[in-house]
Amino acid sequence: MATRLTVPFVLCCLAAPIGSCTPSIDVPPRPDLEPVLRAYANPTATVTSEIMAEVADEIADAAEGIQDSEFFDEILNVIIEVQEEVEKVTSVTCSGGSMNGEACASDADCPGGSCSSDLVLGGACNGGTNDGGGCASNADCPGGECTGGIIVPTPTGALQVNYVCPGWDEGQFEAADDAEPDPANGTIDLFLSLERGTIGRVVWGGADQCQYLIPLEGDDCESAGCLEGSYDGSVALDLGPDWVSGDVEELPVTFVVEGSIGVDGNEYRVNQSFRVVLAVESGLVILVDVGDPALTETFNYIFAETGQGIRDATGLFGCSLEESRCFDESGTLFEW
């Protein structure tokens, strides 16, 4: 499949802290997702039949659009690809102390110093057996050193990524496909922070008419066909506290989106926060906000392999949108 990650000259903006890039890019403010995360952790609403009568259809529509479109998968795949590229050009070494210059994983590996990272882009070896060759760190330059390029010292930096979406051509799944990325298929533009040589947990940006295919089975359209998916709108997401050490596909990722989802010609307007785990089939948690002002009364509506449920201020109990009722082990709690 043709690569779709394009960052021409944009990476120059890694050379300075967020908001002060030279050459400059217009980095929008990083969103504060802490209030949303607190709402997930501590739901404050007490759900009743009256509340469910008002929001049940909205929950069902949001869940259908999110699950059927799988646009969150497309966003997370961009992040995974960017992280892989960052890791290729990041050197993490001891700064100061008895292990100065040695590779490290944490400050504990650097007695008397600290474990820090420099991201080098466009570097060239000065001297040694690879003189003039490209490099990301001194390790690439035996007998010489990696100089020039753009260096981003720990812990701050900003990265803007422009991702050309794959479009609706089924040929993209063929191994020999070498078609050039076509901006007519739409784009995803993301802003990321860099912290200790890795992407920070908050990512933000948006999609401009991003088109992609959704295989109904497997990883291509050959066996069961594909649906045509699209997303246009803003997105912010939190990769969670375990992001640095965990696999993004195994972690609960919290999204806040406002835009339009398309699935095979059907369009869903969303202004929603939800949480997904890529590795969990049908795993989805929607944050339902019934308060005024926003986030003063919230509860979690949960879609899982074993069924549906609600977590509110009183605890956790079962629910079924299809049956219009909520229940616990003793039976029906309320209907609407």
d(Cα 171, Cα 97) in Å, to the nearest integer? Answer: 54
Q: Are strands 114-121 and 123-126 parallel, antiparallel or unpaired?
A: unpaired
Phi, psi angle pair for 305, to nearest 5°: -60, -35
Q: What is the pTM of this model?
A: 0.78
- The pLDDT tens digits for 93-141 are 787 899 988 877 778 889 998 877 666 655 678 889 988 887 766 778 8
- The pLDDT tens digits for 242-299 are 887 678 888 999 999 999 999 999 999 999 999 999 888 778 999 999 999 999 999 9
Largest CA distance in the chain: 77
- Tally helices (H) and strands (E) across the chain: 3, 19
Residue 29, class by beta-carbon neighbours within 10 Å (0-12 exposed, 13-18 middle, 19+ buried)?
exposed
Q: Which residue has the tokens 């449920």?
A: 309
Which residue, among 287, 297, 296, 285, has the nearest Cα to 47 in the 3D structure?
Answer: 297
Exposure b/e, 84-109, CB count within 10 A at least 16 = b: eebeebbbbbbbebebeeeebeeeeb
- The pLDDT tens digits for 137-193 are 677 888 987 776 555 554 456 778 888 999 999 988 887 767 778 889 999 999 988
